[in-house]
Amino acid sequence: MTATAAPELAAPPERRAAARGLARGGERPVLGRLSVPWRLLGGALVVGLALLYLLPFAIQIATSFKTDPEAASHPLALWPTTPTTAAYQRLFGIAQDEDSVPFLRWLGNSAFVTVVVTAGRVLFDSMAGYALARLRFPGRALLFASLLAVMAVPGIVLLIPKFLVLKTFGLFDTYSGMMIPLLVDAAGIFIMKQFFESVPREVEEAARIDGAGVVRIYWSVVLPMARPALITLTILSFQGSWNEFTHFLVATQSGQYETLTTGLARFVSGGLGGGSQYPLKLAAAALSTVPVAVLFFCFQRHFVRGAGAGSVKG
C-alpha cells in the first residue's frame, strides 16, 4: 500500500466519496450543512409563518376574555384591557342573569356522535379494506372502481338524496339518522386497502396453515399489524365527524339534536339573541377546537407514520 493511499483510506467515507467524484471530473457534492446565515434565514421564515398561522387563534383566545364593548372597539388587540371570564361562565351555565346557551348539550351530542361514528368507521372501513385487498370474489374490481367514483363525487350534491332517504326510512331527526350514514367512509376504506396490500402474504399463509380462517386472520394477525393506519383513520374519522356540518344540517331539525357545528352556526347567525356577542361566540369556537387539537398532537407521530404506510409494498 502506497503512502498516498493510506490517508485516503483513513478518511471518512463521505470525504472519500467526494475525492472520487472530483477525480472523475464531477461536481463537488454537498457535504456539510448550510451556512449559518442561510440556517438563520430559514429558521426566521419558519417562525414567521408559524406566527402568521397562530395569529387568528391568538386573537380568538384574547377576544373570548374581553367584554362586548372592548371586543367591538379593539377587535385585533392581543391582550384584553379588563380580562373577564363572563363568556365562559355563560357557556357553562354559571351566569344565570343572561339567556342560557345550550353549549353543554351541543358538546354532549358532538361527543356521543363522534365516538360512535369513529368506532364504526375504524371497524367497518378496516373490514371492507381487508376484503378488497385480500379476498377474491366476483365484481371486486367493479366495486373498487365504484369506491373511487364515490370519492370523486362532491358531498354537496348528496344532501337532498340524504334527506329523502332519511325521511323515507324514518331516520330524520334521530340519533340513528345522524350516525348511520357516517359509519362507513370511502376514503377510509381506500386507506386501509392500501395498507393491507403492503402486509406480506407469508404472514397470512402461515396463519392459514395453522388452521386460522379469514375472520381469525383479519382480527388476530393482520389488524394488529395495521396500527399506524388505524391511528391515522381514527384521527381522520374523529376530526371529520366532530367538524361535520352539512350532514347534521339535513339530518336533524330539533334543537335537542344540535351539535357544536350546527349550534354554533345558529348562534353566529343570531338565533340565540341579538348583538355581536363576539367574546361568547369566539369562546365557544375556541372550546370546540380543543378536542381535535389535543388528539392530533398526542398522536401526531403515529399519524405522520401511518399516512405513508401504504405507499411501500412489502
pLDDT in tens, 112-125: 999 999 999 999 99
Region 19-35: mean pLDDT is: 51
pLDDT for 4 beyond 50: no
Between 236 and 312, the more confident residue is 236
pLDDT tens digit string along 69-88? Answer: 898 888 888 888 889 998 89
Q: pLDDT at residue 6 above 80?
A: no
Q: What is the pLDDT of residue 267?
A: 82
172 pLDDT band (50/70/90 cuts)? very high
Q: What's the pLDDT at 313?
A: 43
In 3D space, the residue among 79, 52, 55 whose CA is nearest the CA of residue 71 turns out to be 79
Q: Taking the model in full, what pTM does it have?
A: 0.78
The pLDDT value recorded for residue 132 is 94
Confidence at residue 20, expressed as pLDDT on a 0 to 100 scale: 54
Asked which of 13-17, 176-180, 285-289, 300-304 is least confident by mean pLDDT, the reply is 13-17
> Greater confidence, 27 or 146?
146
pLDDT above 70 covers a percentage of the chain that reads 81
What number is the average pLDDT over the span 284-302? 83
